[in-house]
Amino acid sequence: MNYLMIHDIQKEYLDLDLDQYKLTFDDGLFSQYYYFPLFKNHPEKLRYFITTSFIKPGSARDMFNGKYISHLKTKKYMHRTFIKGNYDHFMTVEEIQELSKHPNVRIGVHSHFHDVILTRKHPSKRKPPSQWRLERFDNIPKISKKDFSIRSKLAFQGFYFKDGMLTRRSEAQWQDYIRYDTELGIKWMEDNLGFTPDLYCFPFNEYNEKLVSILKTYGFTKFFAARPGKSREIKGRLDIDRLIEI
């Protein structure tokens, strides 16, 4: 049985035969809470991967009552998050606490910051970076798309921009950032949900051996990405939008 990767939920997803898949939900979006009544009896465990810095205090809102809500594409809600500082499209603390009580739900970490960094490593399929990624580096006068790409700050060593210069992060700085981000995510789970997580989903589905090895020292035992490679520890996932395109 394959895993599906789901972000903001749209009505079309609900018309699919999802019982033949294991479902994973990324980022901790409100729509995942709102439509929970339609997923709660799924035959497999539902795995919600939470970006913990996106989750703000607040009471639980109403769940699905027959009314469908508008759908946000990933690049749009990430722009609202990083550039506009708007978090109302994510679950509140109380909403995640409500989900975590359900016996068919497992909660995992999707990093704390889910942030990006400049790197010379380009993706295999080149496409223009989303506007929110470019605006994350507005302090840099000019980014050469030929020379740089914008990738996961956890999975890539990358470059800082300081005093008008691009400076490569040292190995120690990179590893310190991985630990800092991970410790904040774990602490959030322990403080708000009362348990230490062992499931981890990589931001942007990007990872490498160094990141995985550090995460293991914190007790993570199962990992999720779009492409698992040869690793038996990493579970591959199919983007649910691929089913809509078929």
Q: What average pLDDT does the segment 22-45 reach?
A: 97
What confidence category does residue 225 fall into, taking pLDDT thresholds of 50, 70 and 90?
A: very high
Say if residue 233's pLDDT is above 90: no
Answer whether 38's CB lies under 8 Å from 14's CB. Answer: yes
* Domains, in order of start, for the chain: 3-114+170-245 (3.20.20.370)
pLDDT at 144: 64
pLDDT at 163: 76
Higher-pLDDT residue of 245 and 241 is: 241
What confidence category does residue 137 fall into, taking pLDDT thresholds of 50, 70 and 90?
A: confident
Burial class (CB in 10 A: 0-12, 13-18, 19+), 43: exposed
On whether the pTM is more than 0.85, the answer is yes
Report the residue count for the chain: 246
Closest CA to 151 of 213, 203, 75, 229: 203
The overall average pLDDT reported for the chain is 93
Say if strands 199-201 and 22-27 run parallel, antiparallel, or are unpaired: unpaired
Higher-pLDDT residue of 15 and 163 is: 15
pLDDT at 165: 80
What confidence category does residue 230 fall into, taking pLDDT thresholds of 50, 70 and 90?
A: confident
Say if residue 39's pLDDT is above 70: yes
Q: Which residue's structure tokens are 């000019």?
A: 142
Lowest mean pLDDT among 86-100, 115-129, 184-198, 201-215: 115-129
Q: Which residue's structure tokens are 């790197």?
A: 119
Higher-pLDDT residue of 162 and 38 is: 38
